[in-house]
Amino acid sequence: MSITLSQAREKLEKYGQEHVLKYYGELSDGEKAALLAQIEVSDMDVIDSCRHPEELLQRGAITPLAAMQLPEIETERESFTAAGLEAIRAGKVGAVLLAGGMGTRLGSDEPKGVYNVGIHRKLYIFECLINNLLDVVRQAGAWIHLFVMTSDKNHETTVRFLTAHDFFGYQAEYVHFFRQKMALAVDYDGKIFLEEKGKMASSPNGNGGWFVSLKDAGLLELVHETGIEWLNVFAVDNVLQKIADPCFVGATIRKDCAVGAKVVSKVTPDEKVGAICLEDGKPSIVEYYDMTEELLEAKDAKGEPAYNFGVILNYLFSVAQLERIWSQSLPLHVVEKKIPYIGEDGIPVKPEEPNGYKFENLVLDMIHQMESCLPFEVVREKEFAPIKNRTGIDSVESARELLRRNGVEL
Ligand code: UTP
C-alpha cells in the first residue's frame, strides 16, 4: 500500500511540484495507484541541484598519476596472465555489463546491445561482447558470472532478446540481470515533466549506481556465495571490449590496487575522453571539459603529456573496496536532454532539441572513492571501438572498420 493522495499532495507541495496531479482525476484506479507509488519512491531532493549546477562538481587539485604502459606490460605479460587465469579459475572474478543507458545519440529506440553491426550477416553488439568474454572462458576453462544492468526502459527487451538468442552461447545460469534506478526529469525551471498523464518523466540515473543496484537486487549474496572478489565493470557500446582480460586482472591483483582502469593513449591532448589523474592525492578522472590549458600542456618527468591516458569504461573493482564505499554519495551530474512530455493541452510532445535536465551519477566518480588505482594501458585499435553515434567519430562506421581490422567478419 503506497501513500494516500493527500500525502502525495503534501510531498509535491513541499517541492513545488503540485502540477504532477493535474490529470489525476482522469486516471483509472490502477494508474492512480501507480502514480502515487511513483511519487512515494521518487527522490525530489535532487531537483534543487539543477538550480545551482556550478556548485555540484567542485574539483580538487589535479596532479598526474602514472600509467602502467605497454612496454612494461609486455615484459610481465606471461606472469600477469597466469595470475589472472588463476583468479578466474578460482571463481574470484565476475563481470558487470552496464546496459542501462538510453543510447540517445545512436538514435535507436531499442537497447544498444541489440543493435546489429553486421553487414552480410547479423552481428549484434551483445553478441560481440559475449564472444569476447567466451574467449576468456575458453582460455581459463571456467565460466565467469556475468551481471547485466538494465533500466526500466529496456529491461524486458534486453532479457527477451538475450534469452531468444540463447545468450549467444553463454551458459544461462551464469547470467544475472538487475535493474538500475530511475531519476526524475525536469524542465529548465526544475518542474517535473509528465511523460504520461499518470506518470512522471524519468530516465536511468546514470551508470554510477550500478553497485548499489546490484546490492539492492540481492546479487551481492551471490557474489559472496561464489567467492567473487573482483568485478570487471564495462560499457555495452565498445564492441572490442576485452572482458575479464586475464593480463589486466593479474596486473591489478599483483599491484595490490583497489581498482584497475583500462586506459588508452590519447590521440590528441584535447580528445574527448576523461583522463586518469590524482585529485587531492587520490585517484580520479578529469573530464575533457575540465581540462585547463595548464593541464593540457603539463609534461611528466619523461617530457610526455602528463594527462595522456584516457579511460575507456573498463574497470576492475575490488569487491571489498566497493563494500567499504557503497554508502558514500557520488557527485550528481545534471545533464541537458530531450525529454518527451505531455504538453499544456494534454498532447504528447517529442522535442527535437534539449528541453530540460536529467540527473546522473557516474561510475568514473567511483574511482575517486578508491584508495589506489592501476591505470593499465591497452592498444586502442585492438580494444576500443565505442559506438556512440551512427556515423563519424565513435560510430557504427568507425567500429565496423575496427572490427574488420581485428579479423571479425561482418
Ligand atoms: P553513455 O554515457 O554513452 O550513455 O553510457 P548512453 O545513455 O548509453 O548514451 P547516450 O549518451 O544517451 O547517447 C556509457 C555506458 O554506461 C551505460 C550505457 O549503457 C553504456 O554502457 N549506462 C549509462 C547505464 O548503464 N546507465 C545509465 O543510466 C547511463
136-155 tens-digit pLDDT: 999 999 999 999 999 999 99
Nearest CA to ligand 1 atom 5: 101
The grid coordinates of residue 286 equal 578529469
Work out which ligand 1 atom sits closest to the CA atom of 206: 28
Residues 390/234, Cβ–Cβ less than 8 Å: no
- With cut-offs at 50, 70 and 90, classify the pLDDT of residue 1: low
* Binding-site residues, ligand 1, Cβ < 6 A: 98-105, 112, 149, 180, 204-207, 235-237, 313, 388
Atom of ligand 1 lying closest to residue 386 CA: 3
Cα dist from 63 to 114, 285, 295, 307, whole Å: 40, 11, 9, 9
How far is the C-alpha of 132 from the C-alpha of 140, rounded, in Å? Answer: 13
Mean pLDDT of 167-178: 98
pLDDT at 126: 98
Tell me how far CA of residue 124 lies from CA of 117, 205, 410, in angstroms.
Answer: 6, 25, 10
Overall pTM surpassing 0.85 (yes/no):
yes
State residue 107's pLDDT score. Answer: 85
Model confidence band, residue 38 (pLDDT cutoffs 50, 70, 90): very high
Which residue's CA is the closest to the ligand 1 atom numbered 18?
101
**54 — pLDDT class (breaks 50, 70, 90):** low
pLDDT reading at 301 higher than 90:
no
Q: Whose CA is nearest to atom 25 of ligand 1?
A: 100
For ligand 1, what atom is nearest to the CA of residue 100? Answer: 25
Question: How far is the CA of 406 from the CAs of 19, 134, 188, 396, in angstroms?
Answer: 54, 16, 45, 15
pLDDT band at residue 109 using 50, 70 and 90 as cut-offs: confident
Atom of ligand 1 minimally distant from the CA of 102: 7
Whether pLDDT at 95 is above 70: yes
Triad 130, 248, 255: Cα angle to 5°: 150
* Helix/strand/coil for 98: strand
Contact 20, 184 (CB under 8 A): no
Q: How far apart are CA 190 and CA 26, in angstroms?
A: 25
Average pLDDT over residues 112-132: 97
What pLDDT is attached to residue 61?
Answer: 92
55 has pLDDT over 70: no
Closest residue by Cα to atom 4, ligand 1, is 101
| R_g of the chain computed on alpha carbons | 22
Rounded mean pLDDT of 186-198? 96
Amino acid 51: pLDDT? 77
- What does the pLDDT look like over 302-333, one tens digit per residue? 899 999 999 999 999 999 999 999 999 899 98
Q: In the prediction, which pLDDT does 316 show?
A: 98
Say which range, 15-19, 88-92, 288-292, has the weakest mean pLDDT. Answer: 288-292
- Distance CA(20)–CA(8), nearest Å, equals 10
pLDDT at 53 over 70: no
First to last CA, the chain: 52
Per the structure block, which three cell numbers stand in for 364? Answer: 568514473
Separation of CA 292 and ligand 1 centre (Å): 26
pLDDT of residue 104: 85
Between 338 and 133, the higher pLDDT residue: 133
Q: Could you give the CA distance from residue 213 to residue 179 in angstroms, rounded to a whole number?
A: 7
User: Which H helix or E strand runs over 71?
Assistant: helix 70-89
Q: Which of 153, 237, 285, 330 to mutate to test the pocket of ligand 1 (most atoms within 8 A of CB)?
A: 237
| Closest CA relative to residue 276, chosen from 241, 254, 300 | 300
pLDDT for the residue 2:
83
Q: What's the whole-number mean pLDDT along residues 378-406? A: 96
CA distance 223 to 15: 39
Contact (Cβ atoms closer than 8 angstroms) between residue 114 and residue 157: yes
